[in-house]
Amino acid sequence: MVFRANVNVSLIFLIFLVTFIMSSIPLLSLFMYETLPIVIILPVIFLILAGFILWYATSITYVFYEDYLLIKGGPFKSKISYEDITGVSSTEDTFTGYRITSSEKGIKLFYKSAIGGSIKVLPVDKIEFITELRNRCPNVQIPKFD
């Protein structure tokens, strides 16, 4: 079963606005020197970086396989075995911890092989995601979610 992530559009807009402002300052000074290769290369680099951020932020999916949960966001993947999941809680931490989501209110999955001990996720259909997680991990205590 595949779940898509809830995307925080205002956060993505803010990231692109900051990227645009940060990239426009050096580009304005480059046009004064008229060095064509640099004037072409730097905008291409900024466009590639902006495309990478957009790809990462909009392609987040959570896939339930037979033996594990696969969390994908752009080129990043986390493969979590159901036996490794030790707990689940709700979270509203926006800027802390390991997260593959761009929204504030989410679900925090605790598992044994995690670098920081947990990962934050936010599927569009949170209730169905939790139900599927309960079916796959019957031994884990999962609190009631809204």
AA letter at 56: Y
Q: How much is the pLDDT for 54?
A: 82
pTM: 0.76
More confident residue, 10 or 64: 64
- At residue 132's C-alpha, the angle toward residues 69 and 89, to 5°, is 80
Nearest Cα residue to 87 out of 129, 136, 143: 143
Q: Give the mean model confidence (pLDDT) for residues 15-38.
A: 73
Q: How many CB atoms lie within 10 A of CB 19?
A: 15
Q: How much is the pLDDT for 98?
A: 54
Q: Sheet holding 106-111: strands in order across?
A: 85-91, 106-111, 118-121
More confident residue, 41 or 104: 41
The 10s digit of each residue's pLDDT in 80-137 is 999 989 888 888 765 555 555 555 678 888 888 877 788 888 888 888 998 899 899 8
